Structure 1
């Protein structure tokens, strides 16, 4: 254990030396590549799938391959209308190449995140300079929001790639009026519509209308909207799947996908995901960790919204997404990700304006402090939790090893040392802190949290699979169980004597007589009747 901790300490020291060397020798592209690896690929497949989202996408992909159905997605034997088809195709291709595991299921999102960073660097280099472009990519790759989305086996990283590409080409069209840019916008929106639906048209369309209006170019915007070639691109790229799915599912597709998962999602809170009007303001502070101090410095420049077409474009993009999803009744933290790309450009442009060490280093110190204190917090909170399932989950003593804890504290100390380093510009030290935070999130926090929530689910599924047992679920929505079991798992409407049930520990009391085959972290396999 001591050797592992020492290796972690040495890796932290190496990160700082590499960052300082790269900055000094003019190798920012290499530094961005390191940031992309740590933020998106480091330990990508080393922890179980999170439920419900990762489990649902992954199980739908597994069932797609099992059924040989490349049009309709299914989840535990029922049609799944949550999202369009593109992410499932990409996950299926990845699974076909690498096998059915966490790495293969997450790889399309990680690659989309990497492409998103590359597109951001290329755009920012053109509108600013090389150093600012690399800084924008570095900030994006090591920010908490991108790290979480880019490592998730869901559709969001792919959608964000297409949104960014569409918006970047809209700006190019704004300043040049070249036809090829507006045609490419239609292509990116079509691919976005195949990834997540109407939101891929709404955000570029509405945000760009505001920008074009501010710049006195509404006619150019209208010309792009009426472009027959653009509509043809949309019909050719996205139209076939929508038509085939409607032919198969009919009104159920309209009701499930269009009305329920899009219209109703805006009009009313779904699945209890509601929030107050200013819900996304604290969310923005968290998603931009460890660069929250730099974000606060940039927000003071909101008054410069109309200073240049670029400023108008960046601010209107972010503010439209913030306003739209603040008004929507269903609120989820990752919705704001659709509007944070312009913040990366703004933060990179003003990265040297953050002279305050407290403002710069308090956020990374907070993030790493939370990670380092997590074992102690759970030891205190877990036993006091009222819900039995959560108490069993949070009170497991086997998740945080001594090596894990030493590594977390070493990273926290490293950031403290960077903050106190004299006679050194703030930005390079903050960048080094970003690498450390990214390593801590991907290498320590996510694996530990996945072990708490999903480790027992995976163990139970593999146990059932190896024994060839039949099982149903009872009041427990964990689609990842079906992924690891390699079979559809039905929900039990009523309990039958002698059957095996997967459930939560807080459901046992109401199940009558039963015998427990497996119990860990609140996850239970029980035989009804004993």
Structure 2
């Protein structure tokens, strides 16, 4: 198969894999808040300042939001448009993995790396989401790859500039954490290989200045213009927010140190176990391959240490680790398939054990959804019990993804263990990839309806109505996006107490959870409209 044909097939396969078969509402918070920022950009026409609820939003720079705004201008304000940038990013990522793998080893390695990445739960899932991280991670990975190229070429101008370009784009996507990751990785790489670097100290300084110049030039597109136009206010708030992420459990996301180790172990199966087969030294690797493998290990350690050390821990913070984890797993599988490397019995048992457990968990999820009424008898939380009452269809066919996962894992490991590796590895990875994809398209719509469907339906009914909409007792962005809230004309409307008791000029609608309803029912001049799936809906009319 030619390289061009392989790339076309990879791109088409990625589109089929990530293209939604039905519309799924965006999830509160991380999907909706960025989509809402993009929608408000279109409403206000101000593409330099990120706002949510028409107030400055300093948590993230605007590049990903610009991509969503472009998508919405082409396809409308909807879920597909909000998630399209990550679908495109998924296609680009698979092509990057194939080309980098082919350049480092051969086309077979490139294909194995793509399959390994696609055959992991979280890495595949994120390309069907509307969060920032896939785009940010791709930029960081490309900058790290060109860092490798620059080291191997004696700091060639071309690779140094490309590395700076992608770090600049990463800065525009998620902020200074890009420099922290890149800087620590580059320092570790330099300290471990300074004797091998074919460049004088003066050349290192010169190339460093080229890198910094490119980074500044790219990031100036936003940060420089923002500074000139609006002064230092944004930077002060942005830096304070980043410091809060480091020092406190921002947004109730404080977790133990080992949190990301567990997330990556389970979320990147089977690659998270297969990668350990790559940690031994293989003598038939050339210098370029050994250097890149070392760089991937450094990147994995750097990212894990950074995000395990900060107080705020969220699942996708460590998602950059998907690249080194899947590379190391693909490296091991490639050696097993084509270089007659030993298939490790311990790894075989561990992969089989964890994948069987994961497949059983998928089947258990299907059983729980089918029997959620019975499950409610064992739950103490009234809000969760009410969630379970959502009108969601389910059947024994929901067991299929778990069965595919189980059969693929068992049969794949069996074939690999019996020297049929070139059949067993693709079967293992393709089967798990298919199971994950069917799982997403089977379970995520049901989970969305159970957890938030009632509120989204309520908000959509209020689209186009001249009214206020507010949530009580919990944080949400859903009411902004799904009512398509127009620009605020009365600043009083931001005050919940004013909406509940003040001299309002149009109807005000409220949503609260059933566990908090006694804080509002009978204590404010509001009319209860309905209660559904754990949410209670109120209305207050103007005098």
TM, length-normalised to structure 1: 0.85
Q: Give the aligned partner of residue 520 of structure 1.
A: 532
CA distance in 2, matches of 1:416, 1:286: 15
The match for 1:496 is 501
Write the mapping of 1:312-323 to structure 2, written as runs, cut at 5 A: 312-323=294-305
SS in 1 for 2:251: coil
1:38-77 maps to which residues of 2 (within 5 A)? 39-43=17-21, 46-77=23-54
1:388 aligns with 2:382: yes
Which entry has the higher C-alpha Rg, 1 or 2? 2
Contact conserved, 2:245 with 2:312, CA < 8 A, in 1?
yes
CA-based RMSD: 3.1
Question: In the TM superposition, what is the alpha-carbon distance from 1:421 to its structure 2 partner?
Answer: 6.4
List alignment gaps of at least 5 residues for structure 1.
Answer: 1-21
- How far is 1:215 from its partner? 1.1
- Please state how far the C-alpha of 1:404 moved relative to its aligned partner: 5.0
Residue 141 of structure 1 deviates from its aligned partner by 2.6
1:31/1:360 Cα in 2 relative to 1: closer, same or farther (>3 Å)?
farther
The correspondence for 2:226, drawn from 245, 249, 260, is 245
Of 73-82 and 136-145, the range deviating more from structure 2:
136-145
Q: Is the contact between residue 290 and residue 367 of structure 1 (CA under 8 Å) also seen in structure 2?
A: no
Cα pair 1:473 1:491 within 8 Å, conserved: no
Q: More deviation in 478-487 or 188-197?
A: 478-487
In 2, distance between residues paired with 1:350 and 1:220? 35
| 2:398 aligned partner | 405
C-alpha displacement of 1:326: 1.5
Shift of 1:95: 0.6
Match of 1:445 among 443, 446, 453: 443
Report the CA distance between 1:346 and its aligned residue: 1.3
Shift of the alpha carbon at 1:259?
2.1
Aligned residue in 1 for 2:313: 331
More displaced stretch, 266-275 vs 288-297: 288-297
Give the counterpart of 1:206 among 163, 184, 196.
184
Which residue in the other structure is 1:370 paired with?
361
1:482 CA displacement: 1.7
Check the 8 A contact 1:321/1:338 in 2, yes or no.
Answer: yes
Quote the residue 1:126 is aligned against.
Answer: 103
Pick closer, same or farther for the CA change 1:430–1:410 going to 2, 3 Å: closer
Distance 1:433 1:363 in 2: 15
**Post-superposition shift, 1:308?**
3.1
1:114 to 84, 91, 94: 91
1:181 alignment partner, one of 153, 159, 166: 159
- Residues in 1 aligned to 2:527 and 2:426: alpha-carbon distance in whole angstroms: 59
List, as ranges, runs of 4+ consecutive aligned residues in structure 1 with deviation greater than 6 Å. 218-222
Deviation digits for residues 213-267 of structure 1 (CA, Å, limit 9, x no counterpart): 111257679826864433332232211311332345444312321221x222122
The count of corresponding residues between Structure 1 and Structure 2 is 501
CA distance in 1, matches of 2:349, 2:494: 52
Q: Is the 8 A contact 2:470 2:479 kept in 1?
A: no
- Name the CA shift for 1:225/1:277 in 2 (closer, same or farther; >3 Å): farther
Q: Deviations over 1:51-71 (max 9, x none)?
A: 111111011111110000101
| Cα 1:309/1:242, change in 2 over 3 Å | same
| Equivalent residues of 1:50, 1:453 under 8 A apart | no
CA distance in 1, matches of 2:194, 2:511: 61
Structure 2: gaps of 5 or more residues: 337-341
Q: Aligned in 2, Cα 1:126/1:245: closer, same or farther, shift over 3 Å?
A: same
Q: Secondary structure at the match of 2:476?
A: coil
Greater RCO, 1 or 2 (C-alpha within 8 Å, sep 6+)? 1
Cα distance, 1:492 vs structure 2: 4.9
